[in-house]
Copies of this chain bind each other. A is one copy, B any other.
Amino acid sequence: MQQVTLGMIGGGTVGGGVYQALQSNGALLASRTGLRFKLKRIAVKAFDEPRKVEIPERLMTTDWRAVVDDPEVDIVIELAGGTGVARQMVLAALRRGKPVVTANKALLSAHGQELFRTAREHGANIYYEASVAGGIPIIKALREGFIGNRILSLYGIVNGTCNYILSRMQAEGAAFDGVLADAQRLGYAEAEPSLDVDGFDSMHKTGILASLAHGFWVEPEKIHVEGIRNISQLDMGFAGQLGYTIKLLGVVKKLPARGRRKGGNGGAVQVAVYPALVPNRHVLASVSDSFNAVFVQGDVVGDTLFYGRGAGQDPTASAVLGDLADAALDLKHQAPDRVPAFVPHDDEGAVAPLADCISRYYLRLSVSDKPGVLARVAAILAASKIGISSVMQPEGHGGEAIPLIMMIHDATNAAMAKALGQIRRLPVVKAPPVMIRVEDLD
């Protein structure tokens, strides 16, 4: 049986998971691929780091170049994370013509174009199923399964920490801060939670999915990002009464091609990350706890959804093993670009400015409990040609300010922002308006 020799950079959680999965399921992988996988060397930060999965010392080195430069190493697995040294590692491997398997969404999102170009120039390839939505084979689905589809829209719950926090807030009627603190105690959230709760991790993943779907590389700077810190249990509750659940979504939507050639790839793409109201009757609303899911609408296939664990030792290891099999089979067949990592296929592709993007909105105002308030708010919206689809005003409790909830019809973000600025300045409006987008997913 032919042997494939692997070198890994990173001996942390995911690295441990890959080592363990190769131990337990290496024979199965061999019987399915006809190839024997030998993990020869693992570059770690330090030999004595605490590890959940024990790695034999004879495999370890603290010098990543000893992995990349080893002529016996056929495939390099990059699990170091970050965008600094990791970029050098991946570039060094690709320049030696070695395929790279990586879980590094931040690196890909920021430097995708450079990395894929380098891979092409050196007859190597990059496999990155593990970078988005962990164990869910969504990269393979988009790149291969749906290769015959224009992707009309894609909505991803791609950050397990945020989904865990929002699910608990909804189930318990609890506030963000308390649930976050609890999630940190339980290990579902980092001590420094910003990457997750402010939406940046979702931004990296959404950028990768958008790039694959639309054939031009979406730079992270182009992606509008809002996190979940401002989601209150109050809004969670009102959304529930209206038949909705609040989820942090990565949103990728092809806008109608205005003035561009018809039937082509033209038409800009909305790429954004924000919390949104999702209808309870939709299958995406039932994705709870730390699970991830990606809802994809293709022009031929229609509605599809992919669900599973988006992070953690084992789900990520599952994706790495799938990529290792692909990389090894491509090597065996001397077809390194058999499935091209990323195919630019829309020269005209562009991210639409958020101002131009259209959605529905949930609006909560804190207003004085006196006559004429609704009329004044409605007048501002009407002047901006923004329609109101429903109003909910819970019975007042004698307090100063009462909540006024409105569901707003389709409007551009620009029109909505302008109207909100005017509403904010009304003397009867007692606090900054709360606006959350609504995604009906139809």
Known: A25-B148, A25-B299, A322-B144. A32 touches B345 (CB 8 A): yes
Q: Mark A27-53, 1 if CB is under 8 A from B, else 0.
A: 011011110000000000000000000
Interface string of A111-149 (1 = CB under 8 A from B): 000000000000000000100000111001100111111
Residue of B nearest to A265 (CB): B28
Cα A25 to Cα B306 with chains together (Å): 23
Task: State A300–B315 Cα separation when bound (angstroms).
Answer: 6
A307 touches B308 (CB 8 A): no
Q: Interface residue tally of chain A, by bracket?
A: 35 or more
Residues in B neighbouring A322, C-beta threshold 8 A: 144-148
A: residues with CB less than 8 A from B are: 17, 21, 24-25, 28-29, 31-34, 129, 135-137, 140-141, 144-150, 215, 263, 265, 283, 286-287, 291, 298-309, 314-315, 317-322, 324-326, 329-330, 333-335, 338-339, 343, 345
Is the pair B28, A345 in contact by a Cβ cutoff of 8 Å?
Answer: yes
Number of copies: 2
19 pairs of residues in contact across A and B, judged by CB atoms under 8 Å: A21-B300, A28-B148, A28-B150, A28-B265, A29-B148, A32-B215, A135-B300, A137-B141, A144-B322, A145-B319, A146-B318, A148-B320, A283-B307, A301-B309, A301-B318, A301-B319, A302-B308, A302-B314, A335-B335
What is the distance, in angstroms, from A368's C-beta to the closest C-beta of chain B? 42
Are B147 and A33 neighbours in the complex by a CB distance under 8 Å?
A: yes
A301 to B149, CA, bound (A): 27
What's the least CB distance linking A137 to chain B, in Å?
3
A144-B325, A329-B339 are known contacts. Are A304 and B308 too (CB-CB below 8 A)?
yes
A335: chain B residues at CB < 8 Å are: 333, 335, 338
Residues of B close to A305: CB separation below 8 A? 305-308
Question: Judging by beta carbons under 8 Å apart, are B147 and A32 in contact?
Answer: yes
Q: Is the CB of B298 within 8 A of A318?
A: yes
- Closest Cβ of chain B to A292, distance in Å, is 10
How far, in Å, is A37 (CB) from chain B's closest CB? 10
Q: Apart from A148-B322, A300-B317, list 6 A-B contacts with CB within 8 A.
A: A25-B149, A28-B148, A29-B147, A145-B322, A298-B318, A301-B309
Please, which residue of chain B has its CB at the minimum distance from the CB of A264? B27
Q: Which residues of B contact A307 (CB under 8 A)?
A: 283, 304-307
**Closest-CB distance, A57 to chain B (whole angstroms):** 25
Query: Which residues of chain B are near A298, meaning CB under 8 Å?
Result: 135, 318
CB-based contact B321/A300 at 8 Å: yes
Identify the closest chain B residue to A344 (Cβ): B31
A317 to B304, CA, bound (A): 14
Q: Name the B residues within 8 Å of A149 (CB-CB).
A: 25, 318, 321
Residue of B nearest to A312 (CB): B302
Closest to A345 in B: B31
> Bound complex: CA of A178 vs CA of B31, how far in Å?
50
